[in-house]
Amino acid sequence: MKSNSLLNIALVGNPNTGKTSLFNQLTGLNQKVGNYPGITVDKKQGRCKISEYLTAEITDLPGTYSINPTTLDETIVLETLLNESNNSYPDLVIVVAEVENLKRNLFLFSQIKDLQFPSILVINMSDQMIRKGITIDIEALKRELKSEIILISARKNLGIDDLKREIENYENWNTEPIANISDKIDTVFFETIKTTFPEFSLYKSWLLITQQKNCAFLSSELYQKITAFNPDSEKVKKYQHKETIYRYQIINEILKKTYAVDKNEATDLRSRLDKILTHKIYGYIIFFGVLMLIFQSIFEWASLPMDLIDSLFANVSELAKTNLPKGTFTNLIAEGVIPGIGGIVIFIPQIAILFLFIATLEETGYMSRVVFLMDKIMRKFGMSGKSIIPLISGTACAIPAIMASRNISDWKERLITILVIPFTTCSARLPVYAILIALIIPDERIFGIFNLQGLTLMGLYLLGFAAAISSAILLHNVLKIKTQSLFVIEMPNYKLPSFKNVFYEVVEKTKAFIFGAGKIILALSIILWFLASNGSEKFKNAAEYVTTQESAKHLNDDVLNKKIASYRLEHSYIGTMGKVIEPVIKPMGYDWKIGIALISSFAAREVFIGALATIYNVGSDGVGSGTIKERMAAEVDSVTGEKRFNFATGMSLLLFYAFAMQCIGTLAIVKRETKSWKWPILQLTGMGALAYIVSVITYTILS
């Protein structure tokens, strides 16, 4: 049961009208906002104090053009509005419209009104009216629609207080339906529906009948009653068509009296920009130029702050070592945890720059043009133009990227997109790439300008995209799923990015990256440290064993201590485990320590460095020091005496990380989004096998 004082409010509206912007204003939260239809793909809730006595639970919903859903995110809206037992079932609905396309927004509003929710029409982006030459007679519109209407600007924070004041009065709002579908379409048919479901509004019953397949929440009793009505699909289509025409008739009549656009005032910035940005040659040049710019700046602009952070963490580590009591635990902190976290924090500049670009692009409205440009090409790979957005944002993190695929209506296109996203080089791979590249690729320039290390990194990004595309082609040919081309995408107006939106997006995403990774690294470092500093009988008596074994050689203490330490590590719990897996990873060129780090990073890739740091640190028994990189560079093969991280091993590791599916979070999301274990397991095994084979081949050829 919902408590009496808490009012459930749902924000419903066309995509890109500013629902999330309003939600953020009302709740003080910072949910993602962007000038692309389909930014919000899930329900989000937040509290808002409407008045001294009234608090509301606001639900932000994905945008939709109609209650009849065509994509998964739109289905969420349907379910929220029809399922009375869901916890965000609204007491009242705020329909967010936008000044420019009021006609289409009113279509959805009329549907909501027909569901007989207490509802209010909020017309957003009032700040754009003058520039676009739009005038709206609000009072007349209120009368015509028999509804409350508020003009606001969510971006400029105008009219929000008026809205709150009006909401206080929601119990007195008119809840009469707007469209009388029964009379206009088929009186007999709809009257029977009415008498069969007296408990619902007519429109709700009609929706339940036509949207059965999207109504998983129905009780079996109700379901039976509904299926008894199964009209044939021809009839449904015809009636929906009639309903649509009828609704627009009503709306056009109303708008004729209340809405005017002065064409002379309307600037044609859109058409001029569109001519260039979607041009058959310039369009592509600009798109690839933008991509190049992003990658260049990630590598160029970020290097200075990254060096600063690097030395900062080296100092903190030093400080911890000198000030904490001596012992292995201090070493864990100073040489495992702090550098492990440092290894993540150092990527803040790069990640922030990446998000800065993505967020800015999303705010300008450019992304939809990219979708338009790329649709035909992407279809050859079994995907949709809309897949470009998840693939680009996958360079930050695969998890939101997979969520973003929800607005792809075709299941096959969406599935392939979801399956190949993990190949794109996400930010968790960056720390691993960066340190390995620094170890095995010389810091030189070729042709005087291109930094070899930077080029290698770029190559790995391209490799990721290439792998995504090739596996998409493979899946496209293998998967036998019928496709229906229901692709429609709206091209929003160009906008100047809002600094605030971009800023919060960058901050929130960066924070999520740091804390998400930080927690895992901390936990895993401690577990690894524990497993490495405890062991069986041989571990405990390591000193005796080694001293008696080596007694003939008369080693000095230093060498002897090192031998003891490594003997101990080998017989710790982790060493024992490592030895078990060693035969499997040997062909890839790794020893058991790398193997353990590799396995630890199956939870999250960025753990790799911290795991190695912890293992090396315990193994050295506190004698050694230096950064992780120096440690890794100093590590030698105990048999051959060669460098552990030589070119062959390094390349093999790089390629392993490029292809392997090492992210529990992604697997969980794929399971949730595809509603089946089949697909995440396919990713895990398929990508894992590919990674293993490529690594073995690489190592064999290079060594």
Binding site for ligand GTP (CB under 6 A): 13, 15-21, 33-35, 37-40, 62-63, 124-125, 127-128, 153-156, 363, 495, 498, 501
Q: Which does 545 bind (CB under 5 to 8 A by kind): Mg ion, other proteins, ligand GTP, none?
A: none
Interface with Mg ion, residue 16, by CB under 5 A: no
Give 59's DSSP letter: E
Interface with other proteins, residue 66, by CB under 8 A: yes
Of 226 and 489, nearer to ligand GTP (C-beta) is: 489
Of 19 and 412, nearer to Mg ion (C-beta) is: 19
Interface with other proteins, residue 237, by CB under 8 A: yes
Interface with Mg ion, residue 59, by CB under 5 A: no
Interface with other proteins, residue 291, by CB under 8 A: no
Q: In angstroms, what is the minimal distance from the CB of 63 to ligand GTP?
A: 2
Number of residues that bind Mg ion (CB under 5 A): 4
Q: In angstroms, what is the minimal distance from the CB of 486 to other proteins?
A: 4
The rounded Cα 185 to chain-centroid distance in angstroms is 43
Exactly one of 290, 474, 479, 491 binds other proteins (CB under 8 A); which one? 491
Place of tokens 């090192």: 562
Residue with CB nearest ligand GTP? Answer: 63
* Rounded Cα–Cα distance for residues 598 and 607 (Å): 9
User: Which region among 63-71, 121-129, 189-197, 507-515 touches other proteins (by CB under 8 A)?
Assistant: 63-71
Of 155 and 412, nearer to ligand GTP (C-beta) is: 155
Q: In angstroms, what is the minimal distance from the CB of 37 to Mg ion?
A: 9
Q: Which does 267 bind (CB under 5 to 8 A by kind): Mg ion, other proteins, ligand GTP, none?
A: none
Q: In angstroms, what is the minimal distance from the CB of 122 to ligand GTP?
A: 10
Of 101 and 451, nearer to other proteins (C-beta) is: 101
What's the alpha-carbon Rg for the chain, to the nearest Å?
A: 30
Q: In angstroms, what is the minimal distance from the CB of 75 to other proteins?
A: 13
Interface with other proteins, residue 244, by CB under 8 A: yes
Of 3 and 271, nearer to other proteins (C-beta) is: 271
Interface with other proteins, residue 123, by CB under 8 A: no
- Distance (Å) of CA 292 to CA 197, 357, 427, 542, 666: 59, 12, 17, 55, 27
Of 497 and 680, nearer to ligand GTP (C-beta) is: 497
What is the phi/psi pair of residue 450, to 5°? -80, 120
Of 39 and 388, nearer to Mg ion (C-beta) is: 39
Q: Which does 301 bind (CB under 5 to 8 A by kind): Mg ion, other proteins, ligand GTP, none?
A: none
* 173 three-state secondary structure: coil
Q: In angstroms, what is the minimal distance from the CB of 124 to Mg ion?
A: 12
Buried b (16+ CB within 10 A) or exposed e, 69-105: bebbbbbbbbbbbbeeebebbbbbbbbbbbbbbbebb
- Residue 625: CA count within 13 A, CB half-sphere: 10
The length of the chain in residues reads 703
Q: Which does 38 bind (CB under 5 to 8 A by kind): other proteins, ligand GTP, Mg ion, none?
A: ligand GTP
Q: In angstroms, what is the minimal distance from the CB of 99 to ligand GTP?
A: 9
- Answer for the pair 611, 435: CB distance below 8 angstroms, yes or no: no
Of 283 and 336, nearer to other proteins (C-beta) is: 283
What are the residues facing 11 on neighbouring strands? 60, 94
Place of tokens 């600007």: 153
- Answer for the pair 615, 593: CB distance below 8 angstroms, yes or no: yes
What is the phi/psi pair of residue 668, to 5°? -65, -40
* 69 three-state secondary structure: coil
* 482 three-state secondary structure: coil
Q: In angstroms, what is the minimal distance from the CB of 291 to other proteins?
A: 17
Q: Which does 425 bind (CB under 5 to 8 A by kind): other proteins, ligand GTP, Mg ion, none?
A: none
Cβ contacts of residue 390 below 8 Å, gap of 6+?
A: 401, 402, 404, 405, 417, 421
Longest dimension (CA), the chain: 105
Of 88 and 652, nearer to Mg ion (C-beta) is: 88
Interface with other proteins, residue 68, by CB under 8 A: yes
Interface with other proteins, residue 371, by CB under 8 A: yes
Q: 77: which 2 tokens?
A: 């809206």
Cβ contacts of residue 37 below 8 Å, gap of 6+?
A: 14, 15, 16, 63, 368, 407, 489, 490, 492
Of 102 and 298, nearer to other proteins (C-beta) is: 102
Of 406 and 568, nearer to ligand GTP (C-beta) is: 406
What are the residues facing 446 on neighbouring strands? 450
- Answer for the pair 388, 377: CB distance below 8 angstroms, yes or no: no
Sign of CA dihedral 131, 137, 141, 142: positive
* 124 three-state secondary structure: strand
Exactly one of 147, 368, 395, 627 binds other proteins (CB under 8 A); which one? 368
Exactly one of 27, 40, 471, 600 binds Mg ion (CB under 5 A); which one? 40
Q: In angstroms, what is the minimal distance from the CB of 485 to other proteins?
A: 5
What is the phi/psi pair of residue 311, to 5°? -70, -30
Give 38's DSSP letter: T
Using H for helix, E for strand and C for coil, what is the string for 226-261? HHCCCCCHHHHHHHHHHHHHHHHHHHHHHHHHHEEE
How many CB atoms neighbour CB 130 within 10 A? Answer: 10
Cβ contacts of residue 459 below 8 Å, gap of 6+?
A: none
User: Which region among 199-207, 277-285, 400-408, 644-652 touches other proteins (by CB under 8 A)?
Assistant: 277-285
Of 9 and 654, nearer to ligand GTP (C-beta) is: 9
Site for other proteins in 431-470 (CB under 8 A): none
From start to end of 54-111, where are the E strands?
55-60, 92-98
User: Which region among 31-39, 250-258, 342-350, 463-471 touches Mg ion (by CB under 5 A)?
Assistant: 31-39
Interface with other proteins, residue 280, by CB under 8 A: yes
Of 61 and 546, nearer to ligand GTP (C-beta) is: 61
Query: Apex CA 216: angle with CA 211 and CA 218, to 5°?
Result: 85
Interface with other proteins, residue 16, by CB under 8 A: no
Interface with other proteins, residue 213, by CB under 8 A: no
Strands 119-124 and 44-49: unpaired
Q: Which does 132 bind (CB under 5 to 8 A by kind): ligand GTP, Mg ion, other proteins, none?
A: none
Interface with Mg ion, residue 20, by CB under 5 A: yes
Of 50 and 125, nearer to ligand GTP (C-beta) is: 125
Closest alpha carbon to 568 in 597, 522, 537: 537
- The residue ranges that bind Mg ion (CB under 5 A) are 19-20, 39-40
- The residue ranges that bind other proteins (CB under 8 A) are 65-66, 68, 70, 100-101, 103-104, 107, 237-238, 240-241, 244-245, 248, 270-271, 274-275, 278, 280-281, 283-284, 368, 371-373, 375-377, 385, 409, 485-492
